[in-house]
Chains A and B, each alone.
Chain A
């Protein structure tokens, strides 16, 4: 079964050859936090321009020449398709190489791939966005989309957990969103010293402290799998149905078009059927321990 929020096949068909990387040039590099960089890239030709139209939750395969290719979620604004923005933490050979790129360098891109966050399903409801660590990056396009059409939604809440204050991603933007009063922003860190005057505690505690109606709320969670599991359970403890809780999964991918099977997760191919799933779809898979 493919998730209801999958991209219609006619849209995928308009994209260039999904297996052939298109050239993109790095135009801006910003170090966000230690080891984590945001790259802004622009297409080098008309074919490459077609890769810039995406929806929140989708990802591209980014090829670093001479190093390899990895999937990276888009962290930019879908309403600005002239360029693509990716936020990358260097945790392996290719991602470290990506964080060392400079303005003017070239990369190859394929995509966009995967399904999307159920942004439309949240219309008329309260929307709770829960991010942990670097998980705020793949959720950011959703935030842009929701705020661009803010009148469609009731309450919008962003709950964000990080290890320490210095690990908080997009700090300036979080402050801005908070000031704009269009969204309730709750931030918590696992530990801090006296210089931090914000909340200390796990992100599930923010969920417990937040007032919301479980029957008219849709939740989207992004972060490490264990954080998403704890958060989904905290929401279900408050009465939410797993049908209305969405998570974004992450696995190593190769082809990104559902051919190679590298990212198979139970009955699903992460690249094609995901990366966004309702918690109802994956709850049982979460219980399976990897060998």
Chain B
């Protein structure tokens, strides 16, 4: 008995050794499959389907059928969708540098040795991030509309005409401003946290070498927080491509924001207003792939520069 039990227990141990990590991973795998893989698979399935009429007549019934690449073709050839991509890019060119620039500036200021009321300032800058995007857009909407805007009121008192915050190109800045207001705090916290992780000995060495605070910031802090900048930059790019709630909330107040102003609005419109789930799914797949490609390219580009060749 003992002679035979030895190898079998050994196998059991090996089986256990192989099974254990899977066991621990099971909850994650199950959730990942349920809430990510299956919906994505379903969306891809839907993107090849569409409603077509069955039975003739003016009131023939719409039936879901396989339509091949029709949905992809119409998404890619739809001028509205492509124009929407152009708009988010323009918006991103304005919003991303200003959000990251200000976030970095605030983080560096908070990190200078003699700063006062650091805790208060940090919270105050972070606070707008806690306001939901839709609420923030509504608040800013009221500040932008001529009849309710104190800014316009002041401008008129000072002799300037009524300000049009929804015209071109002002609209892009108005939207970027909302992103700025709510996004700076979040990015600042990430950069600030990364700044606090830098050992103080490096600064001491720099000061002994006679470096000013400005030089320390420029030559030591910024290069050392570059990974955090890449991270926040990547988040901002993805966030930009997924721009939705600000323009969608401002739309009813303005003439200039169409229902398909940005890609996500277009997708929403197709799915929930035009009852074209297939078209919406195809547009979503295209958008997701686009985001993936851009993210990978950005990462590859910055990885080499910030993390060195071994990364």
User: A and B, one complex?
Assistant: no
Interface residues of A (CB under 8 A from B): none
Interface residues of B (CB under 8 A from A): none
